[in-house]
Chains A and B, each alone.
Chain A
Amino acid sequence: MKKLQSELLIAKHLRQSVFKNKAIFIITLFIGILLLYAIFSGWENFKNQNETSEKYQHESREDWLKNPDKNPHRMAHYGNFAFRKSTSLSVFEFGMEPFFGNAIFLEAHKQNTANFSEAGFSNSMLRFGEISIAMVLQVLLPLLIFFIGFNSIAYERENGTLKILLTQGVNWKQLLIGKALGIASVIMMLFIPTLIILVLVWLFLQNFTITADETIKMLLFIVFHLAYLLFFCVIAVLISAISKTSKKALITLIGIWLVFTIILPRTTQAIGGYIFEAPSKIQFNSAVEKDILKQGDSHNPNDPHYKAIKDSLLRAYKVDSVQKLPFNYSGFVMTEGEKISSRIYNEHLAELLQVYKKQNSFSKAVSFLNPYIAMKNLSMGLSNTDYESYIDFQKQAEEYRYKMAQKMNALQIKYISNKKPSAGEKPYSISKEHWADLEDFHYEAKPIAIVLKNEIISIISIILWITLLFILIRIAAQKLKAI
């Protein structure tokens, strides 16, 4: 403990003098209020999102079960819905949520888009950003740290007090660490209360029954944000130490902040989007349709692919017409059609996602240069509001759709007669009890292991940055001069 005494003394001194600057006091107070607001609005958002999504998921399920006896293919067209649900950490990190579609209609033969995103229903206001805990922690607090830290050493140099400090037996390393700790202690006055509320809200939202998976995510969320903030404290002190005047330090720090949080994220993504152009919906759909037609059109009676299937079936069962087959022939054809169209759709989708991945790879790579992007990606991953989560949701929905369509086809093959009902006869139907055989759609968020695997670049980047800072402190401690 004795070793750190001078550092702690310097830190204490900085903390006590910070709020003598009225502007800093007001900004800090304001950020505190903003944090409270962010918690409140995050909570509100989360509640609305999940209540609506649960309500309609439930309603849609009830509607499905309420259907009377009918032909299973009608049910396949009746379809189901997948409504998106949020995980509890998304209270603090909205990530891309406003841009995600909230509902996908799942029906036979057709992959629908995820519709009704918040962004589609908003004026461009949303594009300016959102106030969430994560935004305050990742964007505003670093700026506050810079505002507090820019004159931590530069000002002492301007005043001449730096020389006095150094002649009194304090060495550079102690000074740098002490100042950084001082700034950190001011920031902790905001960060620690936020954490306490955060954990309480998080516990409350899950009714105090937490899973190991969620707990690890929460802990990582806290630890990485803490490291991220400390990182900026050190940067502020280092820049202040190498700058001749406090004005130069301030301008440099503001520059760094702007490049990290405003300019780089947008430009890198824009460049990624520019270089790797993605097809539009109309191109995508017509490409899928063309490939399906190439494979065979189940609606065309003379299609060679389906004719071959028919002939082989007739041969195998030794009958001369499809009506004499022991199972429902059109159900069989639809099963085949669904299989082919889903496969082709998924192939095209994989291609499209590959393009998106390339677009994103640009900004992902830049996270090595920019700790903000690394932190942002990691926290979105942990709160299940990142790109991968959305793709995952759509994949789960598509799997469910396929299962539903094929289940209904199987019911048709098994229970529906092959002969067409004669005029005046009621159309064939099966008992409504079968509808319950298909379980409800249930979305499962990615487990922590997958999140960490997806975000490995971000984690490495943050760790590298922290290592770099330690090295820089060492170098600076040896090279810095008092004047």
Chain B
Amino acid sequence: MLSLIFKNFIRSKGTKIGLFFLFCIGFISLLIGKQFQDKQQNNILEATVYQKESLARNAEFHKDEIGLLLYYAKFSLVNKTLPINSLAIGQRDVNPSIQSVNIRGLEAQKYDAELNNANNLLAGNMDLSFVLIYLFPLLIIAFSYNLISEEKESGTWKIVATQSQNTFIYIIKLFYIRILSLIALLSILLFASVLFLSVPLDLSFFTFYGLGILYILFWFAVCFFIVSLQKHSNFNAVILLTIWLFLIIIVPAGINAYIVNKYQIPEALELTLKQRNAYHEKWDTDKNETMEKFYKHYPQFREYKIPADKEFTWLWYYAMQQLGDDESAVQSSELETKLQQRNLASQSIAQFIPTLHTQLQLNEIAHADLGNQLLFLKETTRFHERLRLHFYPKIFTDAAVKDQKWENFKVETFNDPTSIRFANAFLPLVIFNVLLIVLGWFNFRRNVI
């Protein structure tokens, strides 16, 4: 019986075209992922070379003045890109994965944007997560919207009903074949990613896989429920497409508008203005006042004093830069809190919207979500602080440039320590699936098929 159902399913021209089309797009998405991965790796390489060269050049040019050298010298921190990131690019295209900073004021450098073609951003990435979240459901709908209803409309249902002992089991089998074919397709694509994108077979990969399967099941559950209402094929098609449209565009867009309006971030602009003024006004205010504030932040540097007869010293200069950051710290932390709130709000609302939930979870697994970006920004602050603490005493004592081991300052890497929370990832989808299946089953039981 099952093999006959399968033959019937796979022989249809529509099925073959649909599966083939999805396979091709899935494969293109892997190519795009590969390109993204290569570009990321290339960037890291580029950053490493650049840092080495520019440090050497600056050390050559400014041999006598370490303060001036560090005005120019840039140090890079890389937000580690996991191989699985190429399957879910997430926010990694908008946000730079490498931060290059000098030891002057951080707030003026921290939010520097990546160069981007806005057209690409608007269209969005065609990564595997897009194929899974947008396109798989369409094929699922196309495969199942007319189950039963079509046979009823063409009059063959009565024959089926009299020939099989349990029509409900028959319906389950129809779904079973379709579910298997799409899970097989997902498996092939993921397996290909292991081969071509060297995605390791680790926990992240299997969570990705699990989420993919649950997401596919979710859409079959939706179809199962709609089919259980036993309406006309046309009605099923219209209603399923409307559900798709809602879950894919309208609801996420609505929630986004809500979050953007609820947590507005004027702090971002406030911060840049404040930071600029806080630093620059120090050029025209009392030097001792500036230094006193600086010593208060770093008591360990109190021993370094500015000479009374010199108009300009690097100690004073870096103290001024430091105060630009210190005095805009309120705005900075407010901005961070707001972003944190946005992240939390979107995650908690997403639990109730399977499409959104899956996308956010896949991005989280791939370390490409807002949460990862926030952690990276925090780490950038720590990285910057380490550099400052290392170089400040050297600048204040005007240490010899040639005595510093510049070649030791390599590009550093940040590893996002966030671990996968399985209950968070899987539970919302499981609950939706069970709910829809039970409701659908109930409908089938109530109405005589």
Contact = CB atoms under 8 A, between A and B. Distances in A.
A119 to B, nearest CB: 5
Interface string B60-103: 01000000000000001000000000000011001110101000
B112 A63 contact: no
A27 interface: yes
A129 B121 contact: no
B381 interface: no
Interface residues of A, number: 99
A216 interface: no
Interface stretch (B188-196, B236-244, B435-443): B236-244
Contacts of B96: 281
Given A113-B113, A123-B91, A277 B118 contact: no
Contacts of A151: 234
B67 to A, nearest CB: 14
Contact of B123 (A95, A258, A270): A270
B39 interface: yes
B256 interface: yes
A99 B116 CA distance: 9
A129 B253 contact: yes
A58 B266 CA distance: 14
A352 interface: yes
A327 B180 CA distance: 82
A63 B274 CA distance: 10
B61 A282 contact: no
Tell me whether chain A's interface is mostly helix, strand or loop, or mixed: helix
B237 A251 contact: yes
Nearest to B310: A423
B360 interface: yes
Contacts, number: 247
B167 to A, nearest CB: 23
Interface stretch (B198-206, B276-284, B426-434): B276-284
A258 B46 contact: no
Given A123-B342, A125-B256, A266 B123 contact: yes
A120 B113 contact: yes
B43 A123 contact: no
A128 B309 contact: no
A130 interface: yes
Contacts of A143: 241, 245
A258 B91 contact: no
Nearest to A114: B113
A103 B273 CA distance: 11
Given A102-B269, A130-B253, A360 B117 contact: yes
B118 A390 contact: yes
A277 B123 contact: no
B283 A23 contact: no
A274 B266 contact: no
A247 interface: yes
Contact of B250 (A60, A112, A131): A131
Given A116-B269, A121-B268, A423-B311, A96 B257 contact: no
B108 interface: yes
Interface string B109-139: 0011111111111111110001000110010
A115 B115 CA distance: 10
A299 to B, nearest CB: 7
B343 to A, nearest CB: 6
Contact of A99 (B39, B118, B339): B118
B31 interface: yes
Contact of A277 (B39, B135, B252): B39
Nearest to A283: B46
A100 interface: yes
A68 B355 CA distance: 56
Interface string B323-341: 0000000000000000100
A147 interface: yes
A99 B94 contact: yes
B94 A360 contact: no
B6 to A, nearest CB: 23
B226 interface: no
Q: Which of A83, A96, A139, A247 has the most B CB atoms < 10 Å from its CB?
A: A247
A143 B249 CA distance: 13
Contacts of B233: 247
A296 interface: no
Given A283-B42, A359-B119, 18 more contacts: A41-B261, A59-B273, A81-B272, A83-B269, A96-B122, A115-B112, A118-B260, A119-B91, A123-B369, A124-B91, A128-B356, A130-B253, A273-B120, A274-B31, A274-B35, A284-B115, A421-B311, A426-B311
Interface of A: 23, 27, 34, 37, 41, 44, 48, 52, 56, 59-60, 63, 67-68, 70, 74, 77-79, 81, 83, 95-96, 99-103, 105, 112-131, 135, 139-140, 143, 147, 150-151, 246-247, 250-251, 254, 258, 262-263, 265-267, 269-274, 277-284, 286, 289, 297, 299-300, 352, 356, 359-360, 363, 387, 390, 421, 423-427
Interface of B: 25, 28, 31-32, 35, 39, 42-43, 46-47, 50, 54, 61, 76, 90-91, 94-96, 98, 100, 108, 111-126, 130, 134-135, 138, 142, 146, 153, 233-235, 237-239, 241-242, 245, 248-250, 252-257, 259-261, 264-266, 268-270, 272-273, 276-277, 280, 283-284, 309-312, 339, 342-343, 346-347, 350, 355-356, 359-360, 363, 369-370, 373
6 contacts: A81-B273, A123-B363, A267-B126, A274-B31, A281-B112, A424-B309
